[in-house]
Chains A and B, each alone.
Chain A
Amino acid sequence: MRFRTYSLLGLFVFLRPVGNLSLAWGTKHFPQVLSWNPVVYLRAMVDPFVALGIAMLILSLLTRLALLSLADLSFVLPVTAIGYVLATLFGQMFLHEAVTIQQWMGSVLIFVGTGLVGTTPQNTTPNSKESA
């Protein structure tokens, strides 16, 4: 059970920042400003990077749903925050965004916090599974 949870966590932590990166790359290079007009959003979705980002984020959503069937929300939230460190790293590497010392210190705190939460029981609620 614990192995299965961490396999899903690993998959989610990979898919989410890579999907966000692809989405950010696509939207930043999209010629129109995204407004409340849905037609502009639909046009943006045809962009290959936006489309790939959306596909990866949908798969990450399904992975997270499976994860929430195994573990508490208050366990999943901090543990998956490690993905934000990856997002910062990718922002620096691929979008050439400046990352400060303060942000690297933030990354270290997230690592420690994630590790601490990872040592707690993954599911603390009574089994509420409905009978079929």
Chain B
Amino acid sequence: MKWILLSIVVTATALSDLLQSHEMKRAGEQSVDARGLARLLKTIAMRRYLLLSIVCLAISFFAFMALVQAEPLSFAVPASASSFILETVLAKLVLKEDVGLRRGAGALLVLGGVMLLAR
């Protein structure tokens, strides 16, 4: 059961992040002061892909809630973070980001660290 929950968390998180990155770059610079938060909430409400990303995040969140109840936090958090390497590849292929040598090496080091953390 824990691997099914983990798969749901990883897939839904990756889809959510790709949609969020794409839409937020299009929306322009945002902030989180009082005025910025109001503007940000308005931006979310007006963009259907951002709303879809929130739905994906909600699916990921509820699966994560079930996961942390059954498994130690020190497993659940790093294991669900394995989605970021999939996302880094998709960021290069889909979002056309420049994932150079340093960024790629850094991401791999972080992945190695996450794997060690996850045991």
A contact set with B: CB distance below 8 Å: 4, 8, 11, 17, 20-21, 23-24, 27-28, 30, 33-35, 41, 44, 57, 59, 61-66, 68-70, 72-78, 81, 84-85, 87-88, 90-92, 95, 97-100, 102-103, 105-121, 124-125, 128-130
Contacts and interface: CB of A to CB of B under 8 A. Distances in A.
A64 B17 CA distance: 10
Contacts of B76: 24
A34 B69 contact: yes
Contacts of B77: 17, 20, 84, 87-88, 91
Chain B binding surface, main DSSP class: helix
Nearest to A129: B28
A42 B45 CA distance: 24
B4 to A, nearest CB: 11
Contacts of A120: 100, 102-103, 106
Given A84-B77, A110-B117, A125-B96, A73 B18 contact: yes
Contacts, number: 210
Contact of B72 (A44, A84, A91, A129): A91
Contacts of B97: 72-75, 124-125
Contacts of A116: 102-103, 105-106, 109
Contacts of A107: 113, 117
Interface in B83-111: 84, 87-88, 91-92, 95-100, 102-103, 105-111
B25 A11 contact: no
B51 interface: no
Contacts of B17: 73, 77
B6 interface: no
B109 A128 contact: no
B69 to A, nearest CB: 4
Contacts of A74: 87-88, 91-92, 95, 97, 99, 103, 107
B55 interface: no
Contacts of A92: 74
Contact of A125 (B62, B65, B95, B112): B95
Contacts of A111: 113
Contact of B74 (A59, A73, A88, A112): A88
B32 A11 contact: yes
A98 B117 CA distance: 11
Contacts of B84: 77-78, 81
